[in-house]
Amino acid sequence: MSVRVGLKGGQAAIKRLAVAEDKAKRAVLMATNDTGETLRAQILREMGSTVNIKRQTLRERVILTRAASWSGKVRIWARRKGLVLSHFPHKQLYQKQKKGKRRRAGVQVNVSGHTRLLPGAFIVESAGSGSTNGLIFIRTGKRSKAERIGMASGGLDLARSKIRALYGPSPSQILDSKLPDYQSAGQRILREEIVRQLKRAKL
């Protein structure tokens, strides 16, 4: 006589375990991608307040690449090209002249909460977009003949003008400055999301 202990209905139990494994993998995948969404929203919020710029402008430049499998990773990255300076709060300044006339006296710009005066800078409204209301330029050389005779007035022939557009910090630079903090925040959010998704899956 002996005591025998074995698994009854072994195949059914294995199938249930396989289903549980699949549900767990889906839960981890959902948790990973939800973490990416949450962290990106946090980055956009903090980045916008840091450099004093609208979140919608940054949303197009801070990209989320979602994980394709439960063992994959999400990636949040930012474009390296700097934002044109006219994305930031700015104002064309003028200096009064005789007979009620006035001349441009530089541009005032607020980046990262700091207001700066850029002597010699000027705004060309026709060169911008709806989100910038123009581009801010500064002269790099003497006025060309085309400018002197008016061919480049209003920004219609900027390629022939000795001027260059001014840029502010790039989203990539801003993101890199706080990368360790965001890495840590991402891991914390992921742990919380995995627990939440496993509970939802009743695992």
pLDDT value at residue 3: 58
Which residue ranges make up each domain of the chain? Answer: 10-79+171-200, 85-165
Per-residue pLDDT reduced to its tens digit, 44-57: 998 888 777 778 88
CB 186 within 8 A of CB 105: no
46-50, 114-118, 185-189 — which one is most confidently predicted on average?
185-189
CA distances from 118 to 64, 111, 138, 182, 190 (A): 35, 12, 9, 33, 44
Query: Global pTM?
Result: 0.70
Q: Angle at which helices 179-200 and 10-51 pack, to 10 degrees?
A: 140
Does residue 168 surpass a pLDDT of 70? yes
| Pair of tokens at residue 1 | 């006589």
Torsion angle, alpha carbons of 33, 34, 36, 37, to 10 = 120
pLDDT in tens, 21-32: 888 888 899 999
